[in-house]
Amino acid sequence: MSATQPWGWRARTLAAWCLLAPGWAWSQAFELITPDMVAAESRAEPRASEVGGPSPSVRMRSVSRPSIRVLTPSLGTGSLKSPVRIELAFDAASDARIDLASFRVLYGMLRIDLTETIRKNATVTEKGIVAPAAKVPPGTHRLLLRIQDNLGRSGETELRFTVEE
């Protein structure tokens, strides 16, 4: 070690930690849906809009509005294992920007707000969200995803998936 660079090895070690730490932090699984939420959802009465025939795994509503594309889990994947990787892409119309403060994640018929859990444990940007390891109990789950643009137009997507025992 030279006298002109007494911090050389320390600086390299710190730089390595700065590069590795974000990936390490995201590898930690977090509880997105608790067993208590699942129990409350199973006791809930369906709303009139919930009754009817089978629905697709992903349902989108958008016309010149922001949209949310589900990248992961893929449609037709079948049952998933927990923890689940959830990856979303946000798309704004050409005349607008995504308003990240408007993003909401609501669980099931009761619409339990999971937004803060996602914000604290996932990477959230104007381009989308990556939650690499969301712990979800076994069963069928439904997330309602909502976003607005800076012009106040909103879009939403419903994501349904099943987690195996």
Token couple for 34: 């608790």
Q: What is the mean pLDDT of residues 91-95?
A: 91
In whole angstroms, give the CA distance from residue 120 to residue 153: 25
Q: Are 158 and 110 in contact (CB under 8 A)?
A: no
Give the tens place of pLDDT for each residue, 101-143.
999 999 999 999 999 999 999 999 999 999 999 999 999 999 9
Looking at the whole model, is its pTM more than 0.75?
no
DSSP 97-113: -EEEEEEEEEETTTTEE
Residue 19, pLDDT > 90, answer: no
pLDDT band per the 50, 70, 90 thresholds, residue 24: very low
- pLDDT: is 149 or 26 the higher one? 149
pLDDT at 78 over 90: no
Which phi and psi (to 5°) does residue 7 adopt?
Answer: -100, 10
Closest-CA residue to 98 (of 59, 159, 63, 146)? 146
How much is the pLDDT for 115?
96
